[in-house]
């Protein structure tokens, strides 16, 4: 795989991780019901898929490069919260995302 493809797969893997958080939030709205069981199960399934792809990613991207990039899940979760739950995005959050993007760029850039 090319380096660009490897990093695209990595970000896709982190998106799956963020989706598992979405399912967890949806599960929390229906404790003790079928709704809870369904979304909690989906959350566990998404985490299992994430774990599988994470292991594959670590074969091609060193851990010291891949793990710091997990910060991008904060951005994914913020966007998901905004789009699906109408959660507010503040100026502080946008500034923090810019720092995350800068860090992602610096870590993934070849030396």
As a whole number, mean pLDDT of residues 26-47 equals 90
- At 1-28, the pLDDT tens digits run 588 899 899 999 999 999 999 999 899 8
DSSP per-residue letters across 48-98: HHHHHHHHHHTTTS-HHHHGGGGGHHHHHHHHHHHHHH-----HHHHHHHH
Tell how far CA 31 is from the center of its chain.
24
This model's pTM is above 0.85: no
All residues at 6 or more sequence positions from 103 whose CB lies less than 8 Å from its CB, including other chains: 68, 71
């Amino acid at each position: 795989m090319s380096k660009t493809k490897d990093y695209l797969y990595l970000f896709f893997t982190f998106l799956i991780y963020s989706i598992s958080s979405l399912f967890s939030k949806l599960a929390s709205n229906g404790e003790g019901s079928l709704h809870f069981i369904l979304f909690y199960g989906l959350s566990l399934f998404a985490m299992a898929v994430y774990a599988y792809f994470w292991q594959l990613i670590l074969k091609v991207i060193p851990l010291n490069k891949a793990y710091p990039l997990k910060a991008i899940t904060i951005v994914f979760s913020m966007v998901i919260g905004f789009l699906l739950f109408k959660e507010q995005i503040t100026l502080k959050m946008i500034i923090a995302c810019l720092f995350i993007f800068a860090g992602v760029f610096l870590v993934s850039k070849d030396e």
